[in-house]
Structure 1
Amino acid sequence: MPFDVTVYTTTLITLIVIMDPPGQIPLFLSLVGQRSPEYRRRAAWQAPLVSLLVISVFAIGGKAILNYLHIGIPALQGAGGLLLLLVALQLLTGLGNAGNPKASDDVNVALVPLGTPLLAGPGAIAAVIVQVSSVDGEAAGYLAIAAAIISVHIVVMLVLRYSTVLIRVLGVGGITLLAKIAGLLLAAIAVQLIASSIMGFIAEGV
């Protein structure tokens, strides 16, 4: 069975641009910078793993799932935007971080918002669904898409894992400042997702 290099390259570049591994560094550090080294190392592989599982599920049956639930891409964008906006407000105000049990922190960071919707967001999900639909049932194309999905998540894991080295340089004050900046950037991303969702609904005539 031949390997479709063109599909692999296209899918890999598309996902890297959408998921933006270097751009996740300030958000990752702002969320885990004041946690223990063990927590940071665990989050660095848990978040890409969650994203890998989510994107794989949508790659396999995403179109069928969305059709069955009558959910469109604009709805995914709106939901992701609202979720990111809540996280951004927590980063900007400092609320929601203190007094939470350890297990809750694990869920909030590794699953939400890092794993989804920051990594496995509406853009990445939509891109994978489109790529899978474009290969017309060819096994070589499916193999290339699977390899690209795995490759991009390995890149993300390595970027997040070694970004924790910056914590020793930034210190507590630097991480706090980074959290405020990341919160502002995250709020802008959230607003853009919500705006794209609205425009998508308008385009669909909803």
Structure 2
Amino acid sequence: MSVLDTVLLVEVFVTLFVIMDPVGMIPLFLSLTSGRSTATQRRAAWQAVLVSISVVTAFAFFGKQILSYLHISLPALQCAGGLLLLLVALDLLTGKQKAPDAAADSNVALVPLGTPLMAGPGAIVATMLFAQEVDGSATFFAVALGVIGVHLCIFSALRFSLPILRVIRQSGVLLISRIAGLLLSAIAVQLIADAVRSFVTGDF
């Protein structure tokens, strides 16, 4: 008997990689952590990844129970995540981010980086679906390694984005912030649109 379901492992990794988009996280990370010290940026990177993997793991084990207990549907969760991202996107587009301080550093790592940018509705739902396929040690390790592998890719992308920040300097960060705000607003609107569509069609 195989100790690892490699087909499921690849499926989990590829699916979450596409949804969470480690490369796409780089401009958002640079924008949200600009002006902070290198140590603070590094801390934000691993804290965000830790928050993301914790949220994804929690929903993999207890997602259905949590949503059922709180009487929350998946479209409602998706719409809430979209609204939160839209607020962040508007700040990036208008340049109204607050000056960084200790509290802001913590908030950036937790929200919006850790969730809902990384551990967003798409990643949560996908992980919950993969968790339903676990029927033994082979499938369990496949799902676990897939989730861990994607988060290692995200951490690597964020970690190596710091040298980029030193090269492009503040003017480059300003440009990236505007582009990231535009992309983030598009992601937010798409999340809200998908949630509204689910509400209208009753697909939840």
TM interval, shorter chain, is over 0.9
| Contact 1:34 1:175 (C-alpha < 8 Å) held by counterparts | no
**1:144 Cα shift?**
1.1
* Aligned partner letter, 1:90: D
Match of 2:125 in 1: 126
- Give, in whole Å, the separation in 1 of the partners of 2:75 and 2:66: 15
Partner-residue secondary structure (3-state), 2:47: helix
Cα offsets for 1:63-97 (capped at 9, x unmatched)? 11112222121111100000000101111122241
Long gaps (5+) in structure 2: none
Q: How many residues align?
A: 203
Long gaps (5+) in structure 1: none
**1:48 Cα shift?**
0.7
**In the alignment, structure 1 residue 181 sits paired with structure 2 residue 175:** no
Match of 1:166 in 2: 164
* Aligned partner letter, 1:7: L
Match of 2:105 in 1: 106
CA shift in 2, pair 1:147/1:205, >3 Å: closer
| Contact 1:30 1:179 (C-alpha < 8 Å) held by counterparts | yes
Q: Aligned-residue CA RMSD in angstroms?
A: 1.5
- Give, in whole Å, the separation in 1 of the partners of 2:200 and 2:38: 46
- Residues 48-197 of structure 1 mapped to structure 2, 5 A cutoff: 48-98=49-99, 102-135=101-134, 137-197=135-195
State the TM-score, normalized to the length of structure 2: 0.95
**1:127 Cα shift?**
0.1
* Aligned partner letter, 1:22: V
- Give, in whole Å, the separation in 2 of the partners of 1:107 and 1:194: 26
| Contact 2:52 2:118 (C-alpha < 8 Å) held by counterparts | yes
Cα offsets for 1:130-161 (capped at 9, x unmatched)? 111133x3232122111111111111101100
